[in-house]
Structure 1
Amino acid sequence: MRKHLYLWLLASLLFGTTAAFAQVPETREAGVNLHFTDGLNFTTRDSTASINLRFRIQNRADFETQAGDDLDLASHGGYIKRLRLRSSGYLLSKKLTYSLQLGFSPGDMDVENSEHPQLIRDAVLFYQFTPNLKIGFGQTKLPGNRQRVISSGEQQFVDRSIVNATFTIDRDFGLFAFYENELGTVPIRLQAALTNGDGRNASPVEGSGAAYTGRVEVLPLGEFTLDGDYFEGDWVREPKPKLALGFGLSENDNAYRTGGQIGSELPGFTDLEAYMADLIFKYNGWATQHEWIQRKADQTQFLTGDGSDSFIYAGQGYNGQVSYQWPNHFELAARYAVITPEKQIQHLARQTRHYTLGANYYIRWHRIKLQSDLTYQTRENLAVDNSQQDNWILRFQMELGI
């Protein structure tokens, strides 16, 4: 029944998009504009079509010690963490928009968990049915936890937290809906997705199900300046307090990867559920954000063909951040993050805590910035007494983009 509903909704969206193409005249002349936050924009003179081009590079150096009291290096290296090309805009009609993003670094292409390089990150079409309602079809981010929906180029630490890395639902292919309105004077956003549940550029797997994701955002104190609830740190130094609350859930039926849409393949299928809650607050240079995620699985352990254990990290995580940014855009930030596995997998997965201090200098908003952070990491096997290990992680990063 769910598969039939999925196909019916796909057909309906495609029909509506085709009708939109048929009603719009051809355009020819163009103008060019470069904006420090929005990239390079080409717009026709009659404003019936627009194409935006952006790129960004994250060059990083990492240093990790042997232990908390042994500062000899266990690993170190410099590398390109992210190299992205992005295009967005509207074609033929302002109601018909698109978003395209390609990634070229090894991490972007997920070479460890894929049979072939995953260049395509986003490829999605949107149609604005009403001023409040937008429907998308294609591959893009699911409406999951806040740190996932905030771009990796607009983070205030060198990278997202271990909570996001462990529990995020990432990207998927399917139908997406976005609805915005106000309840009195309070902005409300509703987001939903019906997707294949297999992740980026996935080939069909017999027996896999679909994924169902929803998110609600409430802004009790009104809209943030420059959509500030979708970038970290108070770069604009909000003149009035701003608060955003988010709640989400996701169900992935018959998932065959350890993270649902991401991770290595399992030798079987299981149903996954994720529950998410988050908030972000900003005022006069101060910013704080917090998120909690819990993942549940019908089956957490699988026996592989070679006799080893394959498992899903079911459990929960919390991430909290606080920062202050001076008028010259130098920023200090602190983070605490912890992930805790459920009892049945504690002999396979460790509880991990990160205590992180960060220092950033924003040369041109989040597009050109220098970042560094120092993390004290502890990892504990909860099934064994006195099994804690600790070490230090130092990271430097420069981001350059438009």
Structure 2
Amino acid sequence: MKKKKYYWLALLLLTLHLPGFTQDLKTDRKTDVLLDRTKGIRILTRDSLAGINLRFRIQSRAEFTTQDGNSLSLASKGGYIKRLRLRTSGFLYNKKLTYSLQLGFSPGDMDVANSDHPQIIRDAVVYYQFTPRLKLGFGQTKLPGNRQRVISSGEQQFVDRSIVNATFTLDRDFGLFASYRHQIGAVPVRLQAALSNGDGRNTSPLAGSGLAYTARAEVLPLGEFTMDGDYFEGDWVREPTPKLSVGIGFSENDNAYRTGGQIGAEVSGFTDLQSAMADLVFKYNGWATYHEWIQREGSHLVFPAEADDLQYVYAGQGYNGQVSYQFPNHFELAGRYSVITPEREIQHLTLQTKQYTVAANYYVNWHRIKLQSDLTYQTQEDLAANTTQDNWILRLQLELGI
């Protein structure tokens, strides 16, 4: 009986205080919580000692692949969650001390095909802004490699990145990161560098493996893009004046033991990998074009494996070119051509692949809520045997996030 009295007393006190509590909560939300188009839910403490951005996103995809280019008979079909991400970033105690944390929960995000255990952690890095121009980071995040990799997968204008990126990207690694912004007259210049393990995310270095060295430089001869538009695809903001960014990069991964350096399956030996890359992006009045070239070389490309099979590193070069137009109502049409060509040494083990893709997208709320579709005609040529096979790929995707 006494417990019931306490319950009723607690309920009465809660009822008396609820209006004031609700009013305080509304005030807090009005002054301290904001939904930002690009950064998600932003929370700032009253004492300004911490600021947090909270984000999530879901990519739901359906994909259909034909048997060949002359038949619509399906070789595969299916729907799946391509990406499911949770992300937070912000500052703690000092606005110069920032962090970025990102977790992935879909099978592709966790790299279950090439890992002994699910790789949930994608980004976990701490930065310190030493000067307005110089920032240093320590932890795990994307290497400053090709631009399409550094652009978020949630801010692409096609359903996914190109085969050039999929084949030659540096992806993520653990190490030290540095970025420096400079201005030559009215021309912004950005420099980035990284010294990292070379083993990829969430891995322990293998005995005998070396380090990776990565550097990237960008020049924006026509000034800064609106909303950092050189780091999302398509001209969503419809730039009122022409904007151009040109980037070059280089990476060396000493004694790498995975087929892609930081990514891919392990091989039965080591190889030194060198990657060179160049890219440019141009936007104006709804038009956007993006071009990227990457070349990879390796000191050792072919390795023995079980059952007399051979493992190989895909060395060679790739080119990706995209052009698009976004209407004022944020409906977009885009086209893409991508090609990857293997080095002569491995042409008997792998194929030259070309893709011709057209896309139609509708942006409901910037890149956070959008409907995407693309149709690809793909050819794969065995350069050693001089034979070709082809097929069609249709992909549909809904992106939802904050």
Deviation at 1:357, TM superposition (A): 0.2
1:147-191 C-alpha deviation (Å, 9 max, x unpaired): 001000000000000000000000000000000010111000000
Partner of 2:368: 367
Task: Flag as ranges the 4+ runs of structure 1 deviating above 4 A.
Answer: none
Q: How does 1:1-400 map to 2 (within 5 A)?
A: 31-385=32-386, 387-400=387-400
Which runs of no fewer than 5 residues in structure 2 stay unpaired? 1-27
Whole-Å separation in 2 of the counterparts to 1:172 and 1:253: 14
Whole-Å separation in 2 of the counterparts to 1:46 and 1:288: 44
Deviation at 1:349, TM superposition (A): 1.0
- Give the partner amino acid of 1:398: L
Deviation at 1:46, TM superposition (A): 3.3
Whole-Å separation in 2 of the counterparts to 1:272 and 1:81: 29
Whole-Å separation in 1 of the counterparts to 2:181 and 2:98: 17
Whole-Å separation in 2 of the counterparts to 1:41 and 1:55: 13
Whole-Å separation in 1 of the counterparts to 2:35 and 2:48: 16
Partner of 1:12: none
Whole-Å separation in 2 of the counterparts to 1:90 and 1:231: 23
- Give the partner amino acid of 1:163: V
Partner of 2:20: none
Whole-Å separation in 2 of the counterparts to 1:204 and 1:289: 35
1:7-32 C-alpha deviation (Å, 9 max, x unpaired): xxxxxxxxxxxxxxxxxxxxx99821
- Give the partner amino acid of 1:80: I
- Give the partner amino acid of 2:359: G
Which runs of no fewer than 5 residues in structure 1 stay unpaired? 1-27
1:53-107 C-alpha deviation (Å, 9 max, x unpaired): 0000000000000000011000000000000000000001000000000000000
Whole-Å separation in 1 of the counterparts to 2:44 and 2:323: 39
1:330-386 C-alpha deviation (Å, 9 max, x unpaired): 00000000000000100001000000000000000000000000000000000012x
- Give the partner amino acid of 1:156: Q
- Give the partner amino acid of 1:42: I
Q: Secondary structure at the match of 2:95?
A: coil
Whole-Å separation in 1 of the counterparts to 2:71 and 2:142: 40
Deviates more, 1:31-40 or 1:219-228: 31-40
Aligned residues: 374
- Give the partner amino acid of 1:233: G
Larger radius of gyration: 2
Q: Secondary structure at the match of 1:78?
A: strand
Deviation at 1:36, TM superposition (A): 2.3
Deviation at 1:127, TM superposition (A): 0.3
Q: Secondary structure at the match of 1:95?
A: strand
TM-score, structure 2 normalization: 0.92
Deviation at 1:35, TM superposition (A): 1.5
Whole-Å separation in 2 of the counterparts to 1:132 and 1:244: 19
Deviation at 1:304, TM superposition (A): 1.2
Deviation at 1:204, TM superposition (A): 2.3
1:103-150 C-alpha deviation (Å, 9 max, x unpaired): 000000000000000000000000000000000000000000010010
Partner of 2:21: none
Q: Secondary structure at the match of 2:240?
A: coil
Q: Secondary structure at the match of 2:76?
A: strand
1:271-292 C-alpha deviation (Å, 9 max, x unpaired): 0000000000000000000000
Q: CA RMSD in A?
A: 1.1
